[in-house]
Structures are given as structure tokens and as C-alpha cells.
């Protein structure tokens, strides 16, 4: 689907401001007669000023347990800093501690995220696509943002992939009949619900043609296949690629036996208890955020957040969810 980065986040912010000021100064030096020290001050002041004035609002944020807290903040701390500054928002964890310290971010399990957003204890969260239908069914708003490319308008997506070791005897899905296949968690779209909806057409009915074992995470599934704990695993292609980029796994050691059509990736959602005015702040500031170099490396081709059209963007996810729900409904008689 790791050290304290507080100083790194602060240093990054200072470097960004310093770089901006340097760029302003360089612009003002040519031609020489325009080199006025005072000219850079309004730009620096504009950078520090929030886009929304008035009362500073509070917002409780939580993230999934995809990474450790320190790595989560290394990736998303710059976005949180932008959101806090632009929206004039005090971002906090559930204990009321400010997120200006990297160790304060709450990282929750899928069930904890659902319960937190539904109850209003969590007001802003990143959620995997498998949780979205459940939140919408509970009366929560559809997600408002997904990573994407500003120029092309292309939204980030992933595929469900079925993987095995490259030196294994498995070359096609049907070779796994009678074997174990790792799923991630019961509520995961790509890690459980999508396989249950899509694998039967491949001749792999879960719990009938193969034994389902839960690994408790995409990274655990990939690592389990790599080390021979599982013959195969159903994982999200984007999370697998992130492991390759980070050097956690060699792509040459893994074989992809099958892949699905594209799915929407992780999105950002707000609790229905957040006021319309504060929702507006969060959305506008999120759409204006330019991804940090670290995020661009993690999410190749993506440079900002794009709005979501739920019916269009989550059509495949909802199809999988509805098929899974239907399959789980007890048959009469």
C-alpha cells in the first residue's frame, strides 16, 4: 500500500520562501533601474497571507496506515502546510494537537477511518476507493479531490493486478486453481472486493477455486509473494509501482499474470459535519496546490489535485461494490 521529519518540513518551507524571494529579486534586477529592494516585499507578504481571511477554523485530519507517521508527513506535510496557510485553517489530530509537528498525524485502520469520518471525529481524510461506497452509503459526501495532471486533466488511476514470482510455475490465472492467493483487507477495493467481483470470470472463484488469505496490506502481499509466503497476490498496481520506485521490491522478480481495467485511486473526502464555508476553503486551496517534488516522484505524471465527478470516476468501483454486496446477500430458501 522513517525518521522524524519536522525539521525537514520546516526547512523545506523556509527553502521555498527563500527561493521565491530569490526569484523575485532576480526578476527585479533586469533592467538595473528596476532593482528596488522594496519591490520584493509585497510578493513575500502575498505568499504568507491566507487566501481566506476571518476566523481561523479548525479541522481534524487523519490518514490511512499506508506508511509510518514520519513517512506520511514527508509525503503530505507540504500539502498540509499549504492548506493551513491558504485556507487559514488549524489542522489537528483527534487529540487537538497541531499538525505542524510530523509525529502528530493520526494514521488509522480502514474501519477507524470509516467510523471517524461517519461520526465527524475525522473531518478530512485520504481514503482508498474501497471505502468510498461505504461512506456514501452512510450519507457522507462523495470525495472531492484526486491526484491528477493539470495540463491534461487526467486523473490518477490504478489497476488490479494478479502477481506471482517470476521464477514460479504460474504464468496465467488458471494456474492458481487450488492454490492460496493473498488478498489485503476485507474492505479494500483492489485487494479484496475487486478480485471477488472480477476473478470468477477468470475461472478463479474466491474460496472455491482458491484459498483466500488476508495479508493486511498491499505491501505485505507483495513482500509475501517476493519471499515465497504466498503463491500469488491481488494488489493495486500503483502501490506495487511505489514499492518498485522505493526499492522495496525488484520489478524483475515479479510476474503480472493479469490486470483489470483502470480504477480510481486514493481520494480525499470531507465529513458532512464540515460547514459549507470550510468545505469551500479546503476544496479551493486543494485545487490550487502544486505537488511537491516528493509527491511527483511518488505519483508520476500527477502534479495537483483535480475535482471528482462521482458517477463518472467511480463507476467501476461502484460496479465492483454492488456485485460484491449482491454476492454476499444470503439467498432465500
Nearest-angstrom CA–CA distance, 108 and 106: 6
Determine the pLDDT at residue 3: 39
Please write the tens of the pLDDT for every residue from 239-253.
899 899 889 999 999
Three-class SS of residue 256?
strand
Quick check: 231 and 180 in contact, CB under 8 A? yes
Determine the pLDDT at residue 331: 64
Nearest-angstrom CA–CA distance, 301 and 152: 10
Average pLDDT of the residues in 73-80: 94
Average pLDDT of the residues in 313-317: 89
Please write the tens of the pLDDT for every residue from 209-234.
999 999 999 999 999 999 999 999 99
User: For residue 153, which of 314, 302, 312 has the smallest C-alpha distance?
Assistant: 302
Quick check: 58 and 90 in contact, CB under 8 A? yes
User: For residue 297, which of 16, 50, 78 has the smallest C-alpha distance?
Assistant: 78
DSSP-derived secondary structure for 159-180: EEEEEEETTSS--SGGGGTTSE
Tally of CA atoms within 13 A in the half-sphere of 78 that contains its CB? 20
Average pLDDT of the residues in 305-314: 94
Q: Are strands 146-148 and 232-236 parallel, antiparallel or unpaired?
A: unpaired
Quick check: 233 and 201 in contact, CB under 8 A? no
Quick check: 210 and 178 in contact, CB under 8 A? yes
Percentage with pLDDT > 70 across the chain: 83
Nearest-angstrom CA–CA distance, 156 and 67: 19
Does the pLDDT of residue 96 top 60, yes or no? yes
Nearest-angstrom CA–CA distance, 148 and 291: 10
What residues does 118 pair with on adjacent strands? Answer: none
Q: pTM for this one?
A: 0.71
Amino acid at each position: 500500500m522513517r525518521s522524524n521529519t519536522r525539521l525537514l518540513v520546516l526547512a523545506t518551507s523556509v527553502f521555498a520562501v527563500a527561493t521565491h524571494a530569490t526569484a523575485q529579486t532576480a526578476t527585479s534586477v533586469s533592467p538595473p533601474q528596476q532593482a528596488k529592494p522594496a519591490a520584493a516585499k509585497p510578493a513575500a507578504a502575498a505568499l504568507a497571507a491566507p487566501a481566506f481571511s476571518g476566523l481561523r477554523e479548525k479541522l481534524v485530519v487523519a490518514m490511512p496506515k499506508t506508511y509510518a507517521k514520519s513517512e506520511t508527513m514527508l509525503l503530505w506535510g507540504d500539502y498540509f502546510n499549504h492548506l493551513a496557510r491558504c485556507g487559514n485553517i488549524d489542522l489537528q489530530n483527534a487529540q487537538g494537537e497541531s499538525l505542524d509537528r510530523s509525529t502528530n498525524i493520526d494514521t488509522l485502520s480502514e474501519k477507524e477511518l470509516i467510523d471517524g469520518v461517519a461520526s465527524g471525529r475525522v473531518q478530512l481524510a485520504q481514503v482508498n476507493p474501497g471505502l468510498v461506497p461505504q461512506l456514501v452509503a452512510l450519507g457522507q459526501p462523495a470525495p472531492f479531490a484526486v491526484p491528477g495532471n493539470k495540463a491534461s486533466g487526467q486523473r490518477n488511476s490504478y489497476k488490479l493486478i494478479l502477481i506471482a514470482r517470476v521464477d514460479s510455475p504460474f504464468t496465467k490465472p488458471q494456474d492458481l486453481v487450488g492454490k492460496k492467493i493473498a488478498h489485503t483487507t476485507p474492505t479494500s477495493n483492489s485487494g479484496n472486493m475487486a478480485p471477488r467481483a472480477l476473478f470468477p470470470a477468470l475461472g478463479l472463484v474466491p474460496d472455491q477455486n482458491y484459498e483466500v488469505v488476508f495479508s493486511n496490506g498491499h505491501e505485505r502481499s507483495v513482500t509475501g509473494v517476493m519471499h515465497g509466503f504466498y503463491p500469488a497476490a491481488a494488489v493495486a498496481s500503483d502501490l506495487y509501482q511505489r514499492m518498485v520506485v522505493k526499492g522495496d521490491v525488484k520489478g524483475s522478480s515479479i510476474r503480472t499474470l493479469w490486470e483489470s481495467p483502470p480504477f480510481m485511486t486514493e481520494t480525499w473526502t470531507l465529513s458532512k459535519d464540515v460547514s459549507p464555508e470550510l468545505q469551500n476553503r479546503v476544496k479551493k486551496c486543494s485545487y490550487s496546490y502544486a505537488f511537491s517534488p516528493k509527491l511527483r516522484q511518488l505519483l508520476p505524471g500527477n502534479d495537483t489535485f483535480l475535482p471528482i465527478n462521482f458517477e463518472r470516476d467511480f463507476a467501476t468501483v461502484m460496479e465492483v461494490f454492488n456485485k460484491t454486496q449482491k454476492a454476499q446477500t444470503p439467498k432465500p430458501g
